[in-house]
Amino acid sequence: MGVVVQLSVRKRISHREVVSSENGRPVDGLVIAWFAVVIENPFPAEYVADLVTLADAVGEELGDLVGPPCVELLGAEVEAFGKAALVGIDGEVEHGSALIHNLRFGNRFRAAAGGDTLLPAAEKVGLPGQSIDVPIKHKLDATTRSHHQTVTLMIPDAPRPREIVVAAVAASGGRPLARLATFGAEVA
């Protein structure tokens, strides 16, 4: 018999931006979106050795809470993606890691985005309003340099001490005006 856990969501936050120019040059409508939920930390305040059982129990639900809404918010085909967990100060960074480094979570976002590669991630403990820089990479080929970038997200009143912000990030393309050599070209 599996663990049954009800996630407690305080709020959902969506952010979408369209980049039209960079360094005085036009950009063909790069869209970047992130969707986050602020949840009550489902892990006990005291140390517990097994975080995996609970993370498995909530992984699909949590993935569904942020992955498909992020893709929908983007409103374009996803080319790059990433994920993040920002844990309030009465929690452990490992709590956030357990939630987002879980295939039950990640596969929901990957499926919605049409991706099949590793979801780059950021996780840390922070105060309300703390920013977190989320790495994103190409959804099919993590060596596609044009898509390596970070997206900063911040929620003014989160995470509170017993909360975790869990976010999915997506982009419709790579960096504006990307022009680096292909992966490995400098050593060829």
Dump pLDDT digits (tens) for 13-58: 999 999 999 999 999 889 999 999 999 999 999 999 999 999 999 9
For strands 9-22 and 25-40, give the pairing: antiparallel
3.30.1330.110, 3.30.590.10, 2.40.110.10, 3.40.109.10: CATH of 27-175: 3.30.1330.110
pLDDT at residue 1 greater than cutoff 70: no
The pLDDT score that the predictor gives to residue 2 is: 67
Residue 184: burial class (beta carbons within 10 Å; 0-12, 13-18, 19+): exposed
This prediction's pTM: 0.94
Each domain of the chain, given as residue ranges in start order, spans 27-175
pLDDT surpassing 80 at residue 159: yes
Span 70-126, pLDDT tens digits: 999 999 999 999 999 999 999 999 999 999 999 999 999 999 999 999 999 999 999
